A and B are shown apart, each in its own frame.
Chain A
Amino acid sequence: MAFAAFGGGGAAAVAEPAPLKKSWIAIGLLAPGLAYLALFFLAPLVSLLLTSLQIAPEGAGKGEYIQAFNWANYVVAIESYWPHILRSFTYAIIATLAALVIGYPVAYFIGVTARKWPMIQALTLTLVIAPFFISFLLRTLAWKQILGENNWIAQSLHGLGWLPADQTIVGTPFSVVFGLTYNFLPFMVLPIYASLERLDRRYLEAGSDLYAPPATTFWKVTLPLSLPGVVSGTLLTFIPAAGDYINASQIYLGSPQTAMVGNVIDRTFLESQQYPIAAALSALLMGIVLVIVAIYVRRAGTEELL
């Protein structure tokens, strides 16, 4: 099953066979992939880092920079935009947790409860994947309409007095986090489903036999056994959510007050053409994500995973 690929991290630790003799066939097969990585990943990365150190010479026009080692760009980027960086990670963490809380029961239903009914299993799985057939942008715009002032949701909330008359849903941190959660939910559900689908029900029976009520069996047995899926799912949700610039943009669900680091990069690069600042922000984003992911995987990986 293709989704099993998402479950990666926790696969059984099977000893790798000793490497085969150096062979030109292996090198030949690897070459396209390595060339691709060098050309489309390594080269742009180096270019990005170099750009982040550029400086505008005396009397240069807009968007004109020369190569230098101007570390001050990073200081400027952090000083000017630290609230956006912080907001990005806050939103991403909340959206990831929300996606986990919503996605885990869905994955459990598809992977465990629905095992008895293959038709329902296939149907629910399709429903999880189905949104991908419609453009990400269109779906986000659709939510802007649904949550908009002219729709019944906002109007009922106003009518009930739960939402002040001068407040909207769209353009708030809530709508941005909502959009992030919605858009990345399938990336949470699928890996957890892949983990739970392999869960042996006999472990649950053993738990029950050993005096554990269903809730205890879940915390002590089911959840730890599905942790590889949870780790994959949270990473697949958190990393793109932290860098997202669609949901938080004013055109979609955000407002200037909800701008995330992605929106800042978008603006500094395309509008004000401050290429070094945009590059420095990108490098910072990447660096922080790497550190967070490394700490997370290490903690989850050594203590809980199989």
Chain B
Amino acid sequence: MASPGAFAEAGADLELVGIHKRFPGFTAIESLDLTIPAGSFFALLGPSGCGKTTTLRLVAGLEQPTSGRILIGGKDVTDVKPFRRPVNTVFQSYALFPHMTVLENVAFGLKRRRIPNAIARAHEALQLVELDHLAQRKPAQLSGGQQQRVALARAVVNRPALLLLDEPLGALDLKLRRQMQLELKAIQSEVGLTFLHVTHDQEEAMTMADTVAVMNKGEIEQMGSPEDLYELPRTAFVANFLGQSNLFTGDVMSDTGDVIVVEVAGVKVAVPKGRAQRHTGTITIGVRPEKLVLHESAPEPQAGINALGPGRVTDVSFSGVSTQYTVAVPGLGEIVVFAQNMAFGPVAQVGAEVWVAWQVEHGFGLIDEPPGEDRFIDDTSTGSLAQQTRRELLDELGEG
């Protein structure tokens, strides 16, 4: 734990051990074990109400876990008051003190810890977020994006061992957002701080973080590098929350050692065994839309290539770099295909008969949890039922 009056020399490990958090009427975090190594940029990604903000508040000390321990740099801080934790938060609502100037806001934490040259350091932090010229303004006189940068400066200036970011870039426009993403990464690698970043923006999580944990319904569904999560999702939730996926369910027909063959609507589809979580029974397999290739005629059967079809193109939407085709295949539903615009104009028109094909090594098999989720039924109060219904609705929306 950093002693008051000193900056953290480096980031610290964060360890969450068996965290369980119940609020009256619902459970926010079922069971959470998480280790974030010092100096890493860790993103907690999930839809609204998945428990990610609660996790952050637990680490900041603004909530107490119902059970479990929180360790920062190996020290148990579960019972340590928030103002004694070597942690700073960039709040989603900014929470800038309205009666203080921007400079006073940024210098607040430094002054509380009696760090020398607080004002000079605050100016430096404001220069970092390019707002030093507005140092004497009140927060109400700034735009939403500027307030967010002040909130960032106010937290970063303290050089905490652990910086918590609660959707910190939500109010910024795309250009500034990119800039701040790079800035944040630069600060993080320069100082070696540990960043815990909570977001529902999968793109932000993937571009910024070394490690991403996808959270759903109070538990971590999958954790890994952005590439791993994207290329090899383990669950349908991850497959659909992180980008889009085409998912098919079928029975495993044969197992050749290297690949397993799944019968999907009468067609045999091969999936590498190493990329499938389960190898027997009914499983769900998937492939990312950009891995699919459209064919105007039935492709020749070929080793190492899966093909489905024929289907009809029901929608074509052009988005500059690529074109998104929606293909309805009888018995399979809709398949989404992203095609690079290598030629002028769409490859296929709406109504055209097409086949889709992909390389076997691009497929993946999900662990496919049975849908009967009884994790939250321990509490049958109206509040918990309402909460559960709300979650389900949010899930539906999140997947759209």
Contact = CB atoms under 8 A, between A and B. Distances in A.
Is B one of A's binding partners? yes
Given A202-B91, A220-B108, A211 B113 contact: yes
Given A202-B91, A203-B97, A210 B81 contact: no
B99 A210 contact: no
B81 A205 contact: no
A304 interface: yes
B109 interface: yes
B98 A205 contact: no
Contacts of A304: 99
A208 B87 CA distance: 11
Given A203-B97, A216-B112, A306-B99, A210 B154 contact: yes
Interface string B99-115: 10000000011001100
B57 to A, nearest CB: 8
8 contacts: A203-B97, A209-B89, A210-B83, A210-B109, A210-B158, A211-B4, A225-B98, A225-B99
Interface in A189-211: 200, 202-203, 205-211
A161 interface: no
A211 B112 contact: yes
A93 interface: no
A83 interface: no
A224 interface: yes
B99 A211 contact: no
A74 B154 CA distance: 58
A213 interface: yes
B68 interface: no
A205 B83 CA distance: 9
Contacts, number: 65
B98 A209 contact: no
Prevailing SS type, chain A contact patch: helix
Interface in B130-156: 138, 140, 154
B174 to A, nearest CB: 27
B37 interface: no
B224 interface: no
B97 A205 contact: no
Contacts of B87: 209
A221 interface: yes
Contact of A205 (B84, B91, B108, B138): B91
A211 B95 contact: no
A205 B113 contact: no
Interface in B45-100: 60-62, 81-84, 87-89, 91, 93, 95-99
Contacts of A285: none
Given A203-B98, A206-B97, A212-B83, 7 more contacts: A205-B95, A207-B108, A210-B83, A210-B158, A211-B4, A211-B84, A225-B98
Contact of A202 (B83, B93, B108): B93
Interface residues of B, number: 26
A141 to B, nearest CB: 44
Most B CB contacts (10 A, CB to CB) among A202, A209, A216 go to A209
Nearest to A204: B95
Interface of A: 12, 200, 202-203, 205-213, 216, 220-221, 224-225, 304, 306
Interface string B341-369: 00000000000000000000000000000
Interface of B: 4, 60-62, 81-84, 87-89, 91, 93, 95-99, 108-109, 112-113, 138, 140, 154, 158
Contacts of B97: 203, 206-207, 220-221
Nearest to B60: A209
Contacts of B113: 211
Nearest to A224: B99
A210 B62 contact: no
B95 A200 contact: yes
A208 B109 CA distance: 9
Nearest to B82: A208
Contacts of A224: 99
A152 B332 CA distance: 90
Contacts of B82: 205, 208-209
Nearest to B92: A202
Nearest to A216: B112
B99 A209 contact: no
| Residue from the set A12, A205, A206, A208 with the largest chain B CB neighbour count within 10 Å | A206
B4 A206 contact: no
Identify the 10 closest CB pairs spanning chains A and B, nearest first: A210-B109, A206-B95, A211-B112, A208-B82, A202-B95, A224-B99, A209-B89, A208-B83, A212-B112, A210-B108
**Interface centre among B61, B87, B89, B97, by most A CB within 10 Å?**
B97
A210 B88 contact: yes
Contact of B83 (A12, A213, A225): A213
A146 to B, nearest CB: 42
Nearest to A10: B99
A208 B62 contact: yes
Contacts of A200: 95
A206 B4 CA distance: 17
A220 B108 CA distance: 9
A190 B84 CA distance: 35
A85 B84 CA distance: 51
Contacts of B154: 210
A184 B87 CA distance: 45
A257 B98 CA distance: 48
A154 B110 CA distance: 53
B257 to A, nearest CB: 55
A213 to B, nearest CB: 5
A211 B93 contact: no
Nearest to B104: A220
A125 B108 CA distance: 34
Nearest to B85: A209
A195 B89 CA distance: 26
